[in-house]
C-alpha cells in the first residue's frame, strides 16, 4: 500500500527524517512514537506528499507519489489533523462532505452526488455524529469536533489513514472511542492506519506495529511487546520507565518513573 524506502527529508540544513523505511499493511495500525523533534510529523507529512522529500522514495501502491496528482493521492490517503481552522461557520454535514472533494468529477465546482451523501451519512453514523449533522461546527465540543475530523477523513474512502496526534485534545473516553473507530475500519475494511502519538499506552493498546523514532531515525520497529522494553525506551526518552503487563489486555503497559516524585 504505502511505503517509504530509505526516505530522508531535510530543510533549513537540518535533517528531519533520515533513511526511514517503512511499509503499511492492510488491516494494520502502525503507531509512531518518539520524543519531540524526532521527525514523526514530518515523516507523516512527507508520506502524503505535502512535504518534499530530499532523497529516497515514497510509493503508493508501487507508484512514486510525485507522479500522482493531488486528487488521486487524496483518494487513497486521508489525513486526520489535530484540529480544524473554523473561521467561517459550517455545519457538520457540510464539513464532512468536504471529504468527498477528491471524488468530484469537475475539478473545482460540481455538486454532491447521492453517493456522496450516502457515504457522509454512513461515516456520521460510524463516528456517532448523526444527531449533530445540522449543527454548526463551532457549537461542538472538542471531542465531537475531533470525531467530525475523523468522519471527514473516513468520508474520503481512502484506504490509508494518517493520523497526526489525533487524541491530543481529547479526554480519556474520547481517545478510546476515536481509536476504536480506526481499529474497526482496519479490521472490517482492510484499511491501513499510521498514528503519530505521544501516548505510548494508547499505541500499545491499539497498534499492531510500533515505530520508535529519535532524531529522524527509526530506532526500533516491531510489535508493541518487542519495542516497548524498558532499556529501549529509557535510551530513547532518557527517562526511567517501568514496563509491566496490562491487567486487562495483557499487553505492555509503560509507566514512567520520576525519581524526584514525593512518595
Partner 1 sequence: MITTASEAVASPARRKRVTLRKTIVTCAVMAAALLLAIVLMSLLGSEQLPVRASLCALASFGTSTCGLTQDQFDILFQIRLPRILLAAAVGGSLATAGAGYQALLRNPLAEPYLLGISNGAAVGTMIALVFFGAMEWTRPILAFTGALAATLAVYRLARGRAGATPERLILAGVIVTTFLSSVIVFVTVLMDATRIRSFTFWLLGDLSGTSKALLPVAITIAIAGALALTLNARSLNLLMLGERDAFDLGVEVGRVRIVVFVVASLLVGSSVAASGSVGYVGLVIPHLARLSLGSDNRISIPAAALGGALFVIVADTVARTVIAPRELPVGAITALIGAPLFIYLLRRV
Rounded to a whole number of angstroms, the minimum distance from the CB of residue 160 to partner 1 is 12
Asked if residue 206 binds partner 1 (CB under 8 A), the reply is no
Check residue 90 for interaction with partner 1 (CB under 8 A): yes
Residue 168 interacts with partner 1 (CB under 8 A)?
no
Query: Of the two residues 108 and 250, which places its CB atom closer to partner 1 in the complex?
Result: 108
Among 7, 93, 129, 218, binds partner 1 (CB under 8 A): 93
- Of 2, 176, 22, 160, the residue nearest 80 (C-alpha): 160
Checking phi first, is residue 112 left (phi over 0); if not, alpha (psi -120 to 50) or beta? beta
- Residue 121 in the binding site for partner 1 (CB under 8 A): no
Round to whole Å and give the CA distance between 243 and 220.
17
Using CB under 8 A as the binding rule, whether residue 107 contacts partner 1 is answered as yes
Residue window 43-82: x/- pattern of binding to partner 1, with contact defined by CB under 8 A: -----x-x------------------xxx-xxx--xx-x-
Which of 158, 146, 152, 163 shows the shortest CA–CA distance to 31?
163
> Phi-psi region for residue 157, left (φ > 0), alpha (ψ -120 to 50) or beta?
left
The site for partner 1, by CB under 8 A, has a size of 42
User: 86 or 239: whose CB is closer to partner 1?
Assistant: 86
Return the sign of the alpha-carbon dihedral for residues 183, 199, 234, 44: positive
Output 156 or 209, the one with its CB closest to partner 1. Answer: 156
479526554: which residue's cell?
A: 171
Cα separation, 205 vs 225, whole angstroms = 11
Residues numbered 130-149 forming contacts with partner 1, rule: CB under 8 A = 134-136, 138-139
- State the sign of the Cα–Cα–Cα–Cα dihedral 111, 113, 114, 117: negative
Cβ atoms within 10 Å, residue 44: 21
Of the residues 62, 108, 247, 250, which one makes contact with partner 1 according to CB under 8 A? 108
What's the N-to-C CA distance of the chain in angstroms? Answer: 49
Identity of the residue, 44 or 228, whose beta carbon is nearer to partner 1 in the bound complex: 44
Q: Tell me which residues touch partner 1 (CB under 8 A).
A: 48, 50, 69-71, 73-75, 78-79, 81, 84-91, 93-95, 97-99, 101-102, 104, 106-112, 134-136, 138-139, 152, 156
Amino acid at each position: 500500500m504505502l511505503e517509504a524506502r530509505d526516505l530522508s527529508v531535510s530543510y533549513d540544513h537540518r535533517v528531519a527524517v533520515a533513511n526511514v523505511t517503512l511499509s503499511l499493511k492492510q488491516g494494520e495500525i502502525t503507531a509512531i512514537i518518539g520524543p519531540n523533534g524526532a521527525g514523526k510529523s514530518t515523516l507523516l507529512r512527507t508520506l502524503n506528499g505535502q512535504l518534499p522529500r530530499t532523497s529516497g522514495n515514497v510509493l503508493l501502491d508501487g507508484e512514486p507519489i510525485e507522479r500522482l496528482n493531488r486528487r488521486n493521492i487524496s483518494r487513497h490517503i486521508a489525513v486526520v489533523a489535530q484540529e480544524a481552522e473554523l473561521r467561517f461557520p459550517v455545519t457538520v454535514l457540510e464539513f464532512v462532505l468536504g471529504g468527498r472533494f477528491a471524488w468530484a468529477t469537475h475539478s473545482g465546482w460540481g455538486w454532491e452526488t447521492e453517493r456522496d451523501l450516502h457515504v457522509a451519512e454512513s461515516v456520521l453514523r460510524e463516528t456517532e455524529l448523526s444527531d449533530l449533522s445540522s449543527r454548526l461546527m463551532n457549537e461542538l465540543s472538542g471531542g465531537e469536533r475531533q470525531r467530525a475530523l475523523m468522519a471527514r477523513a473516513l468520508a474520503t474512502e481512502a484506504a490509508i489513514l494518517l493520523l497526526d496526534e489525533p487524541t491530543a485534545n481529547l479526554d480519556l473516553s474520547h481517545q478510546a472511542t476515536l481509536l476504536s473507530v480506526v481499529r474497526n475500519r482496519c479490521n472490517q475494511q482492510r484499511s491501513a492506519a499510521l498514528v503519530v502519538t505521544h501516548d505510548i499506552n494508547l499505541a500499545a493498546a491499539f497498534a499492531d506495529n510500533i515505530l520508535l523514532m529519535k532524531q529522524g531515525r527509526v530506532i526500533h520497529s516491531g510489535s508493541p511487546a518487542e519495542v516497548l522494553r524498558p532499556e529501549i525506551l529509557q535510551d530513547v526518552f532518557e527517562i526511567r520507565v517501568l514496563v509491566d503487563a496490562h491487567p486487562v489486555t495483557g499487553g505492555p503497559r509503560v509507566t514512567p518513573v520520576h525519581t524526584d516524585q514525593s512518595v
